[in-house]
Amino acid sequence: MPNSGNARPSALKERLGAERKKALHEFQKSLGLRFKSLELLNQALTHRSHSQDGPEGQANNERLEFLGDSVLGLSVAEYLYIALPNKSEGELARVKSFVVSEDCLSEIAFDLGLDRYLIMGRGEEHSGGRKKKAIMADALEALFGAYFLENDFSKAKKFLQRLLVPEIEKVLSHRHKRDYKTIIQEYVQKNSKSYPHYTLVKKTGPDHDKTFWVSASVCGIDYPEASGKSKKEAEQNAARCAYEAIEAAGGKEATSLKLVEGS
Q: Which residues are catalytic?
A: 69, 141
In contact, 98 and 104? CB cutoff 8 Å: yes
148: nearest Cα among 73, 82, 49, 46: 73
Q: 251: left (phi > 0), else alpha (psi -120 to 50), else beta?
A: left
Q: Which of these, 152, 83, 142, 155, lies nearest to 112 by C-alpha position?
A: 142
Judged by DSSP in three states, 128 sits in coil
Q: Are 161 and 100 in contact (CB under 8 A)?
A: no
Nearest to 44 by CA among 117, 103, 106, 101: 117
What is the residue-wise DSSP string for 72-120?
HHHHHHHHHHHH-TTS-HHHHHHHHHHHTSHHHHHHHHHHHTGGGT-B-
Q: Which of 5, 82, 79, 100 is nearest to 48 (CA)?
A: 5
**For the residues of 187-214, what is the DSSP string, one character each?**
HHHHHHSS--EEEEEEEES-GGG-EEEE
* Cα–Cα distance, 99 to 96 (Å, whole number): 5
Distances in Å between the Cα of 234 and the Cα atoms of 62, 198, 200, 202, 240 are 23, 10, 9, 11, 10
